[in-house]
Amino acid sequence: MAKGSATIAELKKLLAQKQKQLTKLAATRKKLDAQLAKVDSGIAELKGAPAPRGRKAAAPKRRRGRPKERARRMTLKDAIAQILGGTGKAVGAKEIAEALPSVGYVSKSKNLITMISGTLSGSPEFRRVARGKYRLQRRPGRPPAGKRAAAKAKAKPKAKPASQTRA
């Protein structure tokens, strides 16, 4: 019987044969399942554990969340901070997206620039300087402005006016 030249009667006959084979295989499987249940109960009895009550063994649970190897990779926030820390000037999301591979961050995202923009606007580590331009809130190794003023005040105490000194 060549492909495409089979008659309806031949196809029905072929379908009936397949159905018969399927029925035989299902019956064989049922017998084997019964034998396997007997073997399982015998093993459990020898181990001293209670015999299972017709329940199939549960599939092992899958770990949810990110894969472990991804947890060790650099985050987008860290990569952006590294890029902005190296430039020292205000940079836009597009320039950051172009510089990401140079710091070792790889992304398969189709909307990477949108992700960068969201990270920049939602994180207190980055400061908006102009429309679409951001820089680090403070440069690494340099204390924030409020702490700098406090450090200067501690370092150089102001001299008291002559009118307040005791004679």
> Where does residue 95 rank: exposed (0-12), middle (13-18), buried (19+ CB within 10 A)?
middle
Dihedrals phi, psi of 37, to nearest 5 degrees:
-65, -40
Other C-beta atoms lying within 10 Å of the C-beta of residue 136:
21
Give DSSP secondary structure letters for 43-80: HHHHHTPPPP-SPPPPPPPPPPSS-HHHHTSPPHHHHH
Given this model, what pLDDT does residue 69 score?
A: 61
Q: Which residue has the tokens 């030249």?
A: 5
Q: Reply yes or no on whether the pLDDT at 145 is more than 60.
A: no
Residues in the chain, how many?
A: 167
Decide: pTM greater than 0.75: no
Given this model, what pLDDT does residue 155 score?
A: 64
- As a whole number of angstroms, the distance between CA 138 and CA 81 comes to 10
**Per-residue model confidence as pLDDT tens digits over 74-124:** 788 888 888 888 887 888 999 999 988 888 888 888 899 999 999 888 888
Given this model, what pLDDT does residue 62 score?
A: 72
Residue 91's beta-bridge partner residues?
Answer: 134
Q: Is 73 helix (H, G, I), strand (E, B) or coil?
A: coil
Please provide the average confidence, as pLDDT, over all residues in the chain.
79
Other C-beta atoms lying within 10 Å of the C-beta of residue 80:
27
